Amino acid sequence: MTDTPARELFDEIARWPIFDPHTHINPNRPAARHWDEILGYHYYTELAHSTGMPVDLVSPDLAPEVRVANVITYLDRIDSTVQYSWLLEIARTFHGFAHDRITPATCRELIERADHERDGAAWDQMVWEKSNLEAVFLTNEFDDSLEGWDTRAYVPCLRTDDLVLKLHDRQTIARLRRASGIHVEDYGSLRTAIGRLFDRFVSRGAKACAISLPPDFAPRRAIPPQAVTPIRKAIHSLDLRPDEHQEVRCAVFWMLAEFCADYHLPFDLMIGPVRNVYPAGVTGGRDLFDRRVSLYDYRDLFNHFTNVTFPVSTLAPDASAELVAYAWIFPNVLPMGHWWYANVPAYIVGDLRARLQALPKVKLLGYYSDAYKLEFIAPKFNMYRRILAEVLAEGAVRESGWSIDDALGLAKLVLIDNPKRIFGGLAETSTRAT
């Protein structure tokens, strides 16, 4: 915080509840019961590994205390990063950790302070309240039971990567048959089965469908007769030619978009990752991207599904200006959060400025945490809220003469009102201001 209006804005914004439209939280065990569940987040294991930590030091075969002790040895190599700052904020906010740094010397204390195994669900509730969470979106596999939690707090979201990218895996089909109760064996029964998934998800309160797509994927309108044979071959795990793989991916993706239209679900597109680029990495730390992507490849999709809202995230930070332009023109394209390798203040600040300057305020979908444990939501949102406060203090208050209240009004739209409107109801009214 560098000046008074920014500080004033941040102090107010930090009091608001958090609506988090994309996480990987496990609703049956949302908060971390052991510091290992915090320090095991791939941001820390991959950064420690990047500085030389052998992968086996975080093996699932080790005791949690051992994994923690191992990673902590490497933290002094990454303690200037923003990722580390989330960690320290968690230790201080949730565990009363009073030291300036997390070091081997404070390892035992931290493990003890962060041990909430016995508190069980009460600890989840504590973190929820301390973080002032209002709703947290999940990432549910299509065969998730969706049972056992309050879906208004932990909102289901149908994740569809496997259906589009791994339909040819025996496992995918077996899971789909089980989950849908349909004996999937061809294009028609595939569609029926996927329809069943949407039925179930929507009836259980799902508010979005989501997928991450590799840089070489270019959606095109499916021509069912042409897709019938490749889809059948994929379902039966027969060998597919590259063009048939492409046909399968396009056809299933298009089918999902059709269901999003029918069920009024926003379809989150997370564009860019290539999986397993660095196979020797730690779990969660193997994916990267190819920056040579363009939303131009998505034009047919955006044109065809005018009544589906597409909240879009791009992984290559240098692709963010293109997203601004596409969200400017296409009513159904919305810029969503700041994702993964782009979730770095230096990239967020430039991108956020452009979005605020050039895009309709009713289309701005502030931020999401992408967190695996509740504890990460507040520190990540605080990082973003700090940047938002500074950008508004500089651009709106100082340069354009807005009042603090006007700036707060815009911040609220970005952080709460828009995400709640887009992810809370029917897609067709998604871009209407309240």
Among 64, 195, 345, 424, binds a copy of itself (CB under 8 A): 345
* Tokens representing residue 337 in the block: 């959060």
Closest CA to 24 of 374, 419, 379, 378: 374
- Which CB sits closer to a copy of itself, 88 or 179? 88
Residue 14 sits in the site that holds a copy of itself (CB under 8 A) = no
Q: Which amino acid is at 106?
A: T
Is the CB of 116 or the CB of 386 nearer to a copy of itself?
A: 386
Asked if residue 315 lies in contact with residue 273, where contact means CB atoms within 8 angstroms, the answer is yes
Beta carbon nearer to a copy of itself, 56 or 112: 56
Q: How far is the CB of 11 from a copy of itself (least distance, A)?
A: 15
Q: Is 309 in the site for a copy of itself (CB under 8 A)?
A: no
The DSSP result for 219-286, as a single string, is -----HHHHHHHHHHHHTT----HHHHHHHHHHHHHHHHHHHHHHT--EEEEE-EETTSSTTS-TT--
Query: Applying CB under 8 A, which of residues 13, 31, 38, 47 lies at the interface with a copy of itself?
Result: 47
> What DSSP element (H or E) covers 154?
strand 154-155
Confirm or reject binding of residue 359 to a copy of itself (CB under 8 A).
Answer: yes
Stretch that binds a copy of itself, among 7-15, 164-172, 190-198, 290-298 (CB under 8 A): 290-298
Binding of a copy of itself by 46 (CB under 8 A)? yes
Asked if 7 is part of the footprint of a copy of itself (rule: CB under 8 A), the reply reads no
Minimum distance from residue 69 beta carbon to a copy of itself (Å): 17
| 98/433 with CB nearer a copy of itself | 433
Site string (388-417) toward a copy of itself, x via CB under 8 A: ------xxx-xxx---------x-------
What is the nearest approach in angstroms of a copy of itself to the Cβ of residue 97?
16
Q: How far apart are alpha carbons 165 and 366 in whole angstroms? A: 28
Buried b / exposed e across 314-331, counting CB within 10 Å, b at 16+? bbbbebbebbeebbeebe
Of 228 and 349, which CB lies nearer to a copy of itself in the complex structure?
349
Binding part of the chain for a copy of itself, among 26-34, 58-66, 336-344, 371-379 by CB under 8 A, reads 336-344
**DSSP-derived secondary structure for 374-407:** GGGHHHHHHHHHHHHHHHHIIIIIIIT---HHHH
Stretch of 185-193, 198-206, 244-252, 275-283 lying at the interface with a copy of itself (CB under 8 A): 275-283
171/298 Cα distance (integer angstroms): 29
Contact 395, 6 (CB under 8 A): no
Binders of a copy of itself among residues 75 to 104 (CB under 8 A) are: 76-83, 85
* Residue whose CB is less far from a copy of itself, 139 or 430: 430
Least Cβ distance, residue 333 to a copy of itself (angstroms): 9
Please state the closest distance from residue 298 (CB atom) to a copy of itself, in A. Answer: 10
In angstroms, give the least distance from the CB of 103 to a copy of itself: 13
CA 355 – CA 93 distance, rounded (Å): 31
Helix, strand, or coil here: 155?
Answer: strand
Residues of this chain, 232-251, that bind a copy of itself according to CB under 8 A? none
Q: Which of residues 195-214 bind a copy of itself (CB under 8 A)?
A: none
Place of tokens 């008074």: 4
For position 311 contacting a copy of itself by CB under 8 A, the verdict is no
Answer yes or no: are the C-beta atoms of 45 and 372 closer than 8 Å: no
Determine which residue in the list 302, 310, 368, 423 makes contact with a copy of itself, applying CB under 8 A. Answer: 302
Distances 261 to 298, 304, 306, 345, 428 between C-alpha atoms, Å = 17, 11, 9, 35, 9
Contact flag: residue 281 with a copy of itself (CB under 8 A): yes
SS3 content of the chain, % helix, strand, coil (to 5): 55, 10, 35
Query: Among residues 226 and 403, whose Cβ is nearest to a copy of itself?
Result: 403
Among 65, 290, 416, 424, binds a copy of itself (CB under 8 A): 290
**Stretch 49-78 residues interacting with a copy of itself (CB under 8 A):** 49-52, 76-78
Q: Which stretch binds a copy of itself (CB under 8 A): 27-35, 137-145, 173-181, 293-301?
A: 293-301
Q: Write the DSSP assignment of 170-200 as a string of letters.
A: HHHHHHHHHHH-----SHHHHHHHHHHHHHH
Residue 119: helix, strand or coil by DSSP? coil
